[in-house]
Amino acid sequence: MIDTHSHIYSEDFDTDRAETVQRARKAGVEQIILPNCDSSTLPQMLALQAKYPGYCHAAIGLHPTSVKADYEAELAMVRAELMFNKYVAVGEIGIDLYWDKTFLDQQIKAFQLQIEWALEYKLPVIIHVRDSFNETMNALAPYRNRGLKGVFHSFTGTVDEAREIITFGGFYLGINGIVTFKNSGLAAVVADIDLKHILLETDSPYLTPAPHRGKRNESAYVSLVCSKLAEIYNCTPAQIDEQTTLNAKSLFSI
Ligand SMILES: [Zn+2]
């Protein structure tokens, strides 16, 4: 399995990061993608990638909740990193209207600029959408048929929204522990989507799958998402693993 979205570089793992990686390997996690948030998370993320080359892969981007008054300086950091370091994706980027709508215009601007850079560097994008599906699709509209590819990370939308994303072309849906939450309704939506559009992720340390809900999430628990998908698609976890690993390798060129 590949955990395509994990923040195990965060301070939540400062006391047991090596054991966390060990548990992931033992659970069958073959590789982990680390999406960036902003300049404050960059050093820890790069340190983790340096410690586990070929296993932990960093992405670079400015997270929408980190788009504040200083966003231009943050974007300059992203630009410099793209020029001087190697990354597997631009992310995470997108629009988040759940926490704060103050910087919506700046969020859109930062999102679109980083999409331009992803196209320039031929990298996929990792998109964060929260309470902003329409705004996100509107911001993406100018990039239709321009070879843009990526993932809608932590997808929690409707079947219609999933179809809209798939019709746009080039995009996968990242599915995490939310699919194990009985009240989420996500399992029924996922059942209607072809597995060739799905990626596994955890979003560690958040969104811990059942039966560990409420505790810290970690990459090893991606196996619980895999098992849940096997239940939904009426197949074996090995088959889910095989197809989603293929999807992740193809998207991130890893
Ligand atoms: Zn994230």
Distance 141 CA to ligand 1 centre (A): 23
Gyration radius of the chain's alpha carbons: 17
Condensed to tens digits (0 to 9), the pLDDT of residues 6-59 reads 999 999 999 999 999 999 999 999 999 999 999 999 999 999 999 999 999 999
Distance 36 CA to ligand 1 centre (A): 8
Distance 203 CA to ligand 1 centre (A): 5
Residues in the chain with pLDDT < 70? none
Distance 237 CA to ligand 1 centre (A): 24
- How many other C-beta atoms are found inside a 10 Å radius of the C-beta of residue 160? 10
What's the pTM?
A: 0.98
* pLDDT score recorded for residue 70: 96
- How many other C-beta atoms are found inside a 10 Å radius of the C-beta of residue 56? 24
Q: Are strands 56-58 and 2-3 parallel, antiparallel or unpaired?
A: unpaired
Residue whose entry in the numeric block shows the structure tokens 């060129």? 253
* pLDDT score recorded for residue 99: 87
